[in-house]
Each structure stands twice: as structure tokens, then as C-alpha cells.
Chains A and B, each alone.
Chain A
């Protein structure tokens, strides 16, 4: 696939976490408007490899918009100019010929840069393992309809569970806060009967881990919600705040 678009990329290059990092400029010629943003990077990388240079490291996996691996901060916005898409689902037709495009990694203390545009998002995994689960004693699966769930709650739980953990919320937030991610994970269980037994301990543990990871605090700018590729609502943040405050005031353990 080739086309007649030319773009200039200003890409963040950083050898490793100890390197200071800097922008480097790469002109990319013959780009098709139907290419995805990542395919355009593939072209650049092939050329860099042919020239004997180090290719640009970036995260990607499914390239279908559901895995949450791609993580580019494009022209000042996570996942680029479109709403409701990940970088892999962003196509070059969203840019104009001869555009200069600035590409950076997610920037947060809790997301250290591994190399170039790839960051370490293990902080999210540690938040999840602190409480983002339900404990089940194994046995036969019970009948699917034996636990009735209201339609509204089921819908809200599903909407929260669509979070793919890409970290765009942290990247978009001026405080590098992870509140949208953590609140989506808290909410998907808080809304369902299966999440109730561990509900109080879960919100305390996950918020404590979130704070320990060095994420900022939420100032309700709403940038996370606007940039989330899955459209997770900040009403989840309010639910987590409610759960957190309510739990603090009602825990049996003093």
C-alpha cells in the first residue's frame, strides 16, 4: 500500500529510562490516507532498518482497537485527534498532506518510558492485583440466571468493563491521575452482586495502590472521559468516591 501523502513526524526518541530523550524529525513520503497510524510507523521503521538505524519502539498488539496496547500521544492528545478510537484505529486520512505530527509516549511518573514511545504500564496491573477481581471457590458453574441482575446495573457494569487499560486517561489528565481507570475497575464489580462481598476492601485497596504508584489526584477536568477510546464515563469516578467515602465511614474494622 502506498499513496501520495507526505508527512513530517516529530518523534520522541529515548534509549531507555535513564536517557533524557529528545524529539527527532523524520519525513515520511508516499503515505496512503487509508493506512493506519501504526502502519505509517511500520513504513518509517522499515526505512530506518534499511538505513541501518534504530527503529522507533512502540507498543501494539491486536491492531483492532481492543487490546489497549497502542499508546501514542499524537499532536497533544492520547490516541490522536479522533474520539473513541485507539491509535491503531486512527487512519492517515485524519491528517492533511504535509502535516507535521508530534508523537510522544504517555508521560507519567507511574508509567516510566521503556524505550521511545513504549512505556511500562505495570502500575495498572498492580492496581488490579490489589483488588480488581472477585474471589471464587471453584466448583460447578451455577446456572446463569440464578443471580438476577437489573438491566440498568448490568448495562452500567458492562460499560465500565469495556475499559481496555490503555492508560489514555492518565496520559490525557493534566495531573496524570488514574482515577478513570481505577474507578471503571471498581465500578464493574460494585454494580454486580458478585462484587459485593469484597466491595469495601476492594475500593480501599485499589485506591491505596493507585496512590502508592504515584499517580496524581483527580481535579475533575473530564479530559479522561473525552479521550477514553471506550467512552468510560466519569460517573464511575463519582461512584468510586462514593464507595471510598462510604466505606471509610462504615467499615467494621476500626
Chain B
């Protein structure tokens, strides 16, 4: 074995994989939440649909997205593998354990919380990612008046009212005073999916799992990397709690709730 495989097959090295992929996934959550704020804009979904085109065509984002899929898989399977190995380190269980006396329940429930998130990710990706890439998404046509800046949106249909398709994800052209944008209407798909109370419930429930997973996971990642020092421990704790365990999950949970309750 060379030093590299030796390092990553040691207990600390395996945890390093979980920590590095986990913290990378944290940065993804920030971008995902910021971008999806476009859902809250009252412009018939135009900015969200344009953002979707950007995210699925930009070459840099594409590379990062494959890194992301790999990270989810590595993080989940390495995490579950370590849980399995850690169980083997205590073959006979205690008759009585008072876990709450010495540790926070989230730190003892990362596997359960993570598994809920994994199920959620599969459901979430089949709802939107799979539908957008392989399923049927109707097109919408936005007409923007160049002089007034007014935007109106309507389904992209023929005279009989049947939905029309274009080859690409988006087409833009100018006719007279109007700039026409034809784009896949993922926004409508989002609105439609979030009419389902069961799905909305699952999304909100999963965001609790995200919150509790990251409440421990964010600071735990830094500890595994060896970054523990009184000079910045409070900052890590603060960011982990407020940004990753409260603000981000709340923003994500607000999206399905917004469509279910307000739209």
C-alpha cells in the first residue's frame, strides 16, 4: 500500500473523506438556497427558469455538479460504512446508556438523519432533476417590452392550444419592440409538485433532518480536519448553528410552504 491508500484507509483518513465531502456539500447548500430564492420573485417564474438554464448549461457548474454527485455518494456510503464498523467496535451493547448526559442527540443520530436526507435527495432529484433532464416539461414564452421593461408570460402553445416544443432549453429573439424568451417552465413544475400536501410535508420534515444533521456536522467536520482553536471555535459554532442549522433549512422549507400556502 502506498501512503495515499494507507492514509485514507486509516480511521482518521476515512473520517477525512466524510468531513471534506460534507463541508463541500455545505457550500453547495449555500449556492442552492441563494439561487432558488428566484422562486420567490413574482415574475411568472422567469428569473427562476433562466437560472435553471444557466445551472444546467454552464460548463463550470456542470463540472462542479458531477463533483457534487460524487460527494453525496462518497459521504453517504463512507458515513454508513463507518457506522457499521463502529457498531462492530462494541459487539455487546450496554444494558443502560445515558447518552444525553454527555452528548447532544444530534451527534448520536447522524446516521438516521443522514439516511432521511438521502431518501429526500432521491425523491427531490426524481421530482425536478430527472423531470427536467428526461421527463416532459412544457415551455413558457415570456414577452418583454424593451422600452417599458414590462414582462408577461404565457404557455408556449400553437393556435389550437396544444403545447409546442423547441429543440433547446431556451431560445431568445427580438420582434419589434418585444424581446421573446422561450424556456422550459420548471417553475410551473415546482408550483404543480408543491400542490401535493404529502410532498410538502416530506420536504419540510427533511429540512428538519438537514438542520439537525448540520448542527453537529458542520462543526464536526472542522474538528476532523484538526481545526479546533479558541480563536475561531466560536465562529465555527455560530456559523454552523445560525447559517447551516437555522437560516438555510428555514429558507429551503419556506419554498414548498410558499407554493402550498401562498401561491
Residues on the B chain within 8 Å of A107, using CB: 90, 92-94
Give residues in B with beta carbon < 8 Å to A: 2-3, 6-7, 10-16, 82, 85-86, 88-99, 101-104, 107-108, 110, 216, 219-220, 223-229
Which 10 residue pairs spanning A and B have beta carbons closest together? A242-B226, A76-B98, A238-B228, A216-B89, A175-B86, A226-B102, A216-B86, A241-B226, A221-B107, A217-B11
| Chain A residues in 8 Å Cβ range of B13 | 248
Contact with B along A98-131 (1 / 0, CB 8 A): 0000101001111000000000000000000000
Question: How distant is B92 from chain A, measured CB to nearest CB, in Å?
Answer: 5
Q: Contacts of A235 on B, CB cut-off 8 Å?
A: 228-229
Residues on A with C-beta less than 8 A from B92 are 21, 107
Nearest CB of chain B from residue A108's CB, rounded to whole Å: 6
> Could you jot down 18 A-B contacts, CB within 8 Å?
A73-B94, A76-B101, A104-B95, A107-B93, A107-B94, A108-B90, A175-B89, A175-B90, A207-B11, A216-B90, A220-B107, A222-B103, A222-B107, A237-B228, A238-B228, A243-B226, A245-B226, A254-B2
- Give bound CA distance, A214 to B243, whole Å: 37
The verdict on A210 contacting B11 (CB below 8 Å), with A239-B226, A241-B223, A241-B226 known, is: yes
A36 within 8 A of B: no
Report whether B223 and A234 are in contact in the complex, using a CB–CB cutoff of 8 Å. yes
Chain A interface residue number, banded: 35 or more
Q: Which of A160-190 contact B (CB under 8 A)?
A: 172, 174-177
Q: Within 8 Å of chain B (Cβ to Cβ): is A37? A: no
Greatest chain B CB density within 10 A among A177, A237, A238 is at A238
Q: Are A220 and B223 in contact (CB under 8 A)?
A: yes
Q: Are B95 and A211 in contact (CB under 8 A)?
A: no
